[in-house]
Amino acid sequence: MPKLLVVDDDPRLLELLAEYLGGRGFDVVTAPDGEKGLDTLRMGGIDLVVLDVMLPGKDGFEICRDIRKTSQIPVVMLTARGDDTDRIVGLEIGADDYLQKPFNPRELLARIHAVMRRTRDDRTIDNETFEAAGIRVDAARREATVGGQPIELTTTEFDILRALVSAAGRVIPRERLMELARGEEWAAYERGVDVHISHLRRKLGDDPRQPKLIKTVRGIGYLVPKA
């Protein structure tokens, strides 16, 4: 049974989500603030974190940064603010998805399933290794290197890079990359793909002004050259 950690300072929401998600195949543990959430995470066994932005003490952004220092566990962030700023910051620091409050618990469940599908190590299908332009992607181990050096990627960054490298020499439409970046209802935040591509270029050491590893094909999408 997948184990979820829900971090939020609203006890009523914690109770609701524990009951709702717990009745739909998840083992749910909760934490009222970020520090207690990190303590729970350090104990191990957590498969995904649902993390509120507005927390007492360290906010959700700080907690997400702390998580990313040691783990690539999937993180779905929640925010009560409706502007794009939180979404951009969340993606920049490594969140895998974002949901605005108030939300329908069914939508959160759908997003959790979508993120877990993208991050699951499916050994029956996803067991190949791809190489192009000095980039090597081991799909089964979910590891990537550039020039032989390992690079740390979020789960979403890895999925986008794998799609690009496995189709080296061919353009991947932005729509397909949006699906990988956002799962369900990706059209609500199209800039997410651009943020992830920017992060990938930085981590790959690719010059954003004249990229050689991930090229932009205007009006269509992105590609990784074969060599």
pLDDT tens for the chain, residues 1 to 227: 899 999 999 999 999 999 999 999 999 999 999 999 999 999 989 999 999 999 999 999 999 999 998 888 999 999 887 667 777 777 778 888 888 898 999 999 999 988 887 766 443 345 578 999 999 999 878 899 999 999 999 888 888 899 899 889 988 888 778 766 655 444 445 567 888 899 999 999 999 889 999 999 888 889 999 87
Query: Measured between alpha carbons, how far is 28 from 50 in angstroms, rounded to an integer?
Result: 10
Sign of torsion over alpha carbons 66, 68, 70, 71: positive
**Intrachain domains 3-119 and 129-223 with the same fold:** no
Q: Where does 129-223 sit in CATH, by number?
A: 1.10.10.10
Which DSSP letter does residue 188 get?
G
Closest CA to 222 of 158, 178, 186, 156: 178
Say which CATH superfamily domain 3-119 falls into: Response regulator (3.40.50.2300)
Count of C-beta atoms within a 10 Å radius of residue 101? 15
Let me know: does 222 contact 172? Beta carbons within 8 Å. yes
Is residue 76 within 8 Å of 96, Cβ to Cβ?
yes
Q: Could you identify the residue written with the tokens 């591509």?
A: 197
Is the pTM value of this prediction over 0.75? no
Q: Which helix (H) or strand (E) holds 87?
A: helix 84-92
Domain ranges in the chain?
Answer: 3-119, 129-223
